[in-house]
């Protein structure tokens, strides 16, 4: 039989028959044939109707414009327009967006703008100008500045359109209620199931401030053209809400007038910032531990805030995130540093939105606990059982006594979380700095909002991978450390209870070391004043002897005999007058010191007869204590300088740190190194003056990071650690390993719960999206296309999550549920096939031995950091 020509009815019928070999009913086959004939007939009628309309169409209103299209690279196009159509609408229907709604001369294609949006989401520092230059290169043209302006204007409109579409999609899905994003973005935190075990803390979060996303303020009398406010973000907390907490904490004047000499603290404000507002440490109080943590935190922040507020409007952002990296909220820091109101507003919002017991990680979390307790949030914060702690890395800048209480490794329920999620977020958002520094207020906030959105999208796609890696890390700790601890316990005849007891003793020791009672403080001050009095007595006696021996034999008081014209006589007389002045001054100082001594003796119940002498036992005891205090002061100064140096080294090695900032940090490091050398010398001198002299330190030791944990052990000047098992060099590593094993088991329990939450959420969301797409299609809703695209992307990500969850279920040692916590109506056969295909893709990724650019950057940063430490 002669084959039919493609496109005819017979050919379609032939295809229908071939595609449905399994159909045996002739009635069904005939029905299919008739249906295809009707479809072809309607298509033909539609085609003829369009041709007639085009033939009779009036082309008077058509418009020709220059265009920019990254795909076709065409320079000009003709756009059809009816009499009733507006020009921008007619051009948009053809896939282009005009740069100006009035008398447009240039149009940019939607796909060109979409490519730029995708590029900027993946490379935040990619500018409009760079993209315009790329397009000019593709067109073979020299750079045209008006293209940059046109793309920038059209891009703003394009993003506005996408925001409207996204809102309609979310509204159709029922995801437009207040705080929906923060309540559902992270399924591991939010999608709670029935019958879950108590994890201690329902939610683990972190918060911190960052000053990279600054924006230059208005310069001089220059007028600002773009006065818009970007208020469509659900990431930002409004300034009005934040300012509700500006009076919760007042600035506390520091009583420490100590100046390191190497780094003057000059905070020049222009008067716009409220100088009465306090920072998160202004409720530190008189607690020695908190005061030292506060001093270290403020010292580390000096170089970042120096001479900043006058030239910037927004000086950075303060943000919070959950332990899985999903952003909670963002706050602009306006003409100020890291004030307490930003952190309080973030905590207050979390208390309003969540009903959870939250563990907050914060650089200065130890002091911020007190700040919250003294604020209006204190009662609710305490009722919920919430608390703050320090971050794992930043915790090493705190005193060891603080670390024994507030470091995440010692907090039950914290698991293996390092609380450093904000550092990862800011490492990514730092790429925005070149784009936002000179942007308008509207564009800066818009760019930050889009960056946070993409960050959350990436975190959702990787949440199962994170849980997979956390479980493997916990399993590795149990496999490596548990046998070591068990072997040590058996060899030393100890139990886990003994390790817990020694850990408690360590906390108690460091909670009291260096503390001074009120009576001891008076005695210390008395000995100090007594020493000053004796020193002034000796100096007065020496000055008197020098004065008597320096009087010339022929000296005559002025006024009795006229001065001679002898120059030698005048010089000697002048020297005598100076010595007389010094003698009288020292006598007055000596009398003043004696008054201070007598006042302190009255407090101690002493009199002139019972005044202490260098041989008095109480004097000797207090003198030793005074030497210890001087030793501790020298040690604290040395510790503070070393911590500052480590932070500066870390900052200098962060990727994307600007060249000028790196240069300033390098100069600061040079000054800091000189200060550390001087502090080492002062420490060694103080160590020699102790009753039990301590061995001297050398420069090579104090510049190593591992030395930090030894600072607190150096504070023991009374040999109180003798016989303490927890202080032995062989015991301390075992205590740390046992503590790490506890946290690893907590991490396993938490990950088991979170894996099941993600599993249940994915299945439920897939079902909801299928039903929503089906319903939207049946309704012929205009949002169907956008909803379908969203559902397709989301389902593909969910398929990847299910594939990784399947790998988690077969991990050796996995003890969680392998079934979801809620029933799912999705098709098991289709879902299983998609998951198997995604598992094959995962296997291909695992076989790819290449390293991502982000991994290379991180490895280079670590290598440079360790090289600097080793070379010092």
In the chain, domain spans:
9-56, 63-172, 180-220+228-461, 521-612
User: Coil, helix or strand for 381?
Assistant: helix
N- to C-terminal Cα separation, the chain: 90
Report the Cα 271 to chain-centroid distance in Å.
28
How sure is the predictor about 577, in pLDDT bands with cuts at 50, 70 and 90?
confident
Q: What DSSP string describes 789-820?
A: HHHHHHHHHHHHHHHHHHHHHTSTT--S-SS-
Q: What are phi and psi of 363, to 5 degrees?
A: -50, -40
Say how far apart CA 687 and CA 716 lie, in whole Å: 12
Say how far apart CA 494 and CA 491 lie, in whole Å: 8
Q: Flag the least confident range among 243-247, 708-712, 807-811.
A: 708-712
pLDDT at 552: 59
pLDDT at 303: 45
Structure-token pair, residue 726: 């927890």
Helix axes 828-847, 784-809, angle to 10 degrees: 70
Structure-token pair, residue 179: 């705080």
pLDDT at 403: 81
- Judged against a pLDDT cut of 50, whether residue 95 lies above it is answered with yes
The set of residues, in sequence order, having a beta carbon less than 8 Å from that of 206 and lying 6+ positions away, is: 320, 321, 323, 360, 361, 362, 391, 419, 420, 421, 422
- Judged against a pLDDT cut of 70, whether residue 265 lies above it is answered with no
What tens digit of pLDDT does each residue of 521-574 get? 778 788 888 888 888 888 888 877 776 676 656 556 554 445 555 677 677 777
Q: Where are the alpha helices (DSSP H) in 430-517?
A: 433-436, 441-461, 463-492, 496-512
Mean pLDDT of 296-302: 51
Looking at the DSSP bridge assignments, the partners of residue 518 are: none
Report the Cα 426 to chain-centroid distance in Å.
5
560 or 783: whose pLDDT is higher?
A: 783
Q: What are phi and psi of 108, to 5 degrees?
A: -115, 135
pLDDT at 112: 95
CB-CB contact of 227 with 778 (8 Å): no
Say how far apart CA 82 and CA 185 lie, in whole Å: 45
Mean pLDDT of the chain: 78
How sure is the predictor about 236, in pLDDT bands with cuts at 50, 70 and 90?
very high
CB-CB contact of 388 with 360 (8 Å): yes
Say how far apart CA 449 and CA 447 lie, in whole Å: 5
How sure is the predictor about 2, in pLDDT bands with cuts at 50, 70 and 90?
very low
What tens digit of pLDDT does each residue of 178-193 get? 899 999 999 999 999 9
Q: What DSSP string describes 111-173?
A: HHHHHHHHHHHH-TT--HHHHHHHHHHHHT----HHHHHHHHHHHHHHHHHHHHHHHHHHHHT
Q: Give the largest Cα separation in the chain, rounded.
A: 151
CB-CB contact of 826 with 767 (8 Å): yes
335 Rama sector, left if φ>0, alpha if ψ -120 to 50, beta otherwise: left
327-334/358-361 β-pairing: unpaired
Mean pLDDT of 507-512: 72
106-109/96-98 β-pairing: antiparallel
**3-state secondary structure string across 280-300:** CCCCCCCCHHHHHHHHHHHHH
Structure-token pair, residue 398: 């705190």
How sure is the predictor about 830, in pLDDT bands with cuts at 50, 70 and 90?
very low
Say how far apart CA 272 and CA 527 lie, in whole Å: 48
Residue keyed to tokens 């004796």: 534
**Half-sphere exposure of residue 249, counting CA atoms within 13 Å on the CB side?**
31
CB-CB contact of 67 with 74 (8 Å): yes
- Residue 499, class by beta-carbon neighbours within 10 Å (0-12 exposed, 13-18 middle, 19+ buried)? buried
What is this structure's pTM? 0.73
What tens digit of pLDDT does each residue of 681-713 get? 887 887 777 777 777 777 666 655 444 455 555
469 or 396: whose pLDDT is higher?
A: 469
How sure is the predictor about 290, in pLDDT bands with cuts at 50, 70 and 90?
low
pLDDT at 309: 53
519 Rama sector, left if φ>0, alpha if ψ -120 to 50, beta otherwise: alpha
User: Coil, helix or strand for 197?
Assistant: coil
CB-CB contact of 425 with 327 (8 Å): yes
CB-CB contact of 188 with 467 (8 Å): yes
Percent of the chain with pLDDT over 90: 36
- Judged against a pLDDT cut of 80, whether residue 231 lies above it is answered with yes
pLDDT at 835: 62
> Element (H or E) spanning 616, and its range?
none
Say how far apart CA 730 and CA 491 lie, in whole Å: 12
User: Coil, helix or strand for 332?
Assistant: strand
CB atoms within 10 A of CB 591: 12
> Element (H or E) spanning 39, and its range?
helix 26-56
41 or 295: whose pLDDT is higher?
A: 41
């Amino acid at each position: 039989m002669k084959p039919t020509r493609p496109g005819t009815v017979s050919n379609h019928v032939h295809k229908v028959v071939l595609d449905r070999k399994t159909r045996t009913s002739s009635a069904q086959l005939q029905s299919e044939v008739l249906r295809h004939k009707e479809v072809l007939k309607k298509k033909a009628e539609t085609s003829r109707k369009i041709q007639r309309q085009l033939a009779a169409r009036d082309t008077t209103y058509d418009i020709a414009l220059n265009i920019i299209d990254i795909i076709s690279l065409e320079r000009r196009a003709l756009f059809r327009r009816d009499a009733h159509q507006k020009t921008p609408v007619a051009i948009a229907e053809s896939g282009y967006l005009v740069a100006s709604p009035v008398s447009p001369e240039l149009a940019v294609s939607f796909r060109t703008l979409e490519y730029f949006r995708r590029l900027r989401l993946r490379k935040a520092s990619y500018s409009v100008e760079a993209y315009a230059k790329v397009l000019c290169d593709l067109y073979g043209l020299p750079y045209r500045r008006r293209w940059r302006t046109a793309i920038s204007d059209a891009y703003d409109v394009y993003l506005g359109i996408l925001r409207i579409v996204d809102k309609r999609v979310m509204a159709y899905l029922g995801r437009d209620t207040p705080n929906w994003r923060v309540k559902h973005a992270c399924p591991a935190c939010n999608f709670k199931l029935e019958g879950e075990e108590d994890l201690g803390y329902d939610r683990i979060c972190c918060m911190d401030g960052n000053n990279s996303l600054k924006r230059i303020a208005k310069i001089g009398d220059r007028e600002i053209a773009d006065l818009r406010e970007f208020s469509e973000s659900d990431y930002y907390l409004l300034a009005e809400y934040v300012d509700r907490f500006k009076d919760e904490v007042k600035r506390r004047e520091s009583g420490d007038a100590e100046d390191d000499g190497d780094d003057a603290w000059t905070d020049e404000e222009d008067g716009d910032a409220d100088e009465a507002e306090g920072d998160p440490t202004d409720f530190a109080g008189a607690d020695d531990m908190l005061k030292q943590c506060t001093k270290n935190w403020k010292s580390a922040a000096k170089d970042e805030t120096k001479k900043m507020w006058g030239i910037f409007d927004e000086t950075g952002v303060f943000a919070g995130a959950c332990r899985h990296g999903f952003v909670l909220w963002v706050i602009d820091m306006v003409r100020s540093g890291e004030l307490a109101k930003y952190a309080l507003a973030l905590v207050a919002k979390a208390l309003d939105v969540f009903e959870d017991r939250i563990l907050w990680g914060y650089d200065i979390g130890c002091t911020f606990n007190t700040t919250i307790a003294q604020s209006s949030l204190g009662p609710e914060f305490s009722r919920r059982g919430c608390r703050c702690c320090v971050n794992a890395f930043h915790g090493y800048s705190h005193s060891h006594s603080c670390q024994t209480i507030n470091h995440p490794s010692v907090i039950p329920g914290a698991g293996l979380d390092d609380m450093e999620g904000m550092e990862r977020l800011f490492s990514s958002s730092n790429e925005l700095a070149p784009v936002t520094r000179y942007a308008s207020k509207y564009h800066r906030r818009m760019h930050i909002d889009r960056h946070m959105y993409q960050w959350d999208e990436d975190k959702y796609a990787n949440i199962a991978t994170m849980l997979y890696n956390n479980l493997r890390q916990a399993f590795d700790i149990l496999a490596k450390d548990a046998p070591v601890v068990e072997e040590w316990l058996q060899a030393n005849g100890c139990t886990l209870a003994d390790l817990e007891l020694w850990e408690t003793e360590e906390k108690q020791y460091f909670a009291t070391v260096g503390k001074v009672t009120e009576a001891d403080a008076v005695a210390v001050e008395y000995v100090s004043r007594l020493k000053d009095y004796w020193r002034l007595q000796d100096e007065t006696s020496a000055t008197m002897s020098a004065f008597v021996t320096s009087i010339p034999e022929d000296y005559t008081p002025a006024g009795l005999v006229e001065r001679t014209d002898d120059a030698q006589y005048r010089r000697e007389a002048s020297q005598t007058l100076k010595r007389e002045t010094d003698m009288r001054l020292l006598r007055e100082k000596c009398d003043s010191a004696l008054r201070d001594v007598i006042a302190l003796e009255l407090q101690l119940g002493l009199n002139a007869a019972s005044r202490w002498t260098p041989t008095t036992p109480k004097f000797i005891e207090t003198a030793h204590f005074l030497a210890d205090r001087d030793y501790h002061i020298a040690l604290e100064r040395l510790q503070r300088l070393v911590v500052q140096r480590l932070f500066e080294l870390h900052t200098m090695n962060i990727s994307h740190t600007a060249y000028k900032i790196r240069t300033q940090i390098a100069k600061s490091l040079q000054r800091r190194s000189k200060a550390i050398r001087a502090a080492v010398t002062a420490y060694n001198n103080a160590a020699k003056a102790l009753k039990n002299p301590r061995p001297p330190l050398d420069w090579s030791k104090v510049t190593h990071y591992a030395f930090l944990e030894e600072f607190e052990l150096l504070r023991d000047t009374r040999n109180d650690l003798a016989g303490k098992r927890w202080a032995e060099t062989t015991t301390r590593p075992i205590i740390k390993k046992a503590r790490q094993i506890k946290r690893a088991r907590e991490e396993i329990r938490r990950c088991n719960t979170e894996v099941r939450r993600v599993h249940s959420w994915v299945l439920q969301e897939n079902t909801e999206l299928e039903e929503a797409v089906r319903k939207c299609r049946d309704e012929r809703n205009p949002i169907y296309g956008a909803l379908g695209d969203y559902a397709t992307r989301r389902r593909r990500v969910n398929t990847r999550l299910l594939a990784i969850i399947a790998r988690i279920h077969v991990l050796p040692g996995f003890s969680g549920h392998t079934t979801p916590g809620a029933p799912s109506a999705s098709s098991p056969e289709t879902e299983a096939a998609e998951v198997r295909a995604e598992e094959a893709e995962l296997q291909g990724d695992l076989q790819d031995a290449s390293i991502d650019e982000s991994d290379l950057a991180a490895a280079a940063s670590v290598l440079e950091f360790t090289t600097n430490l080793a070379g010092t």
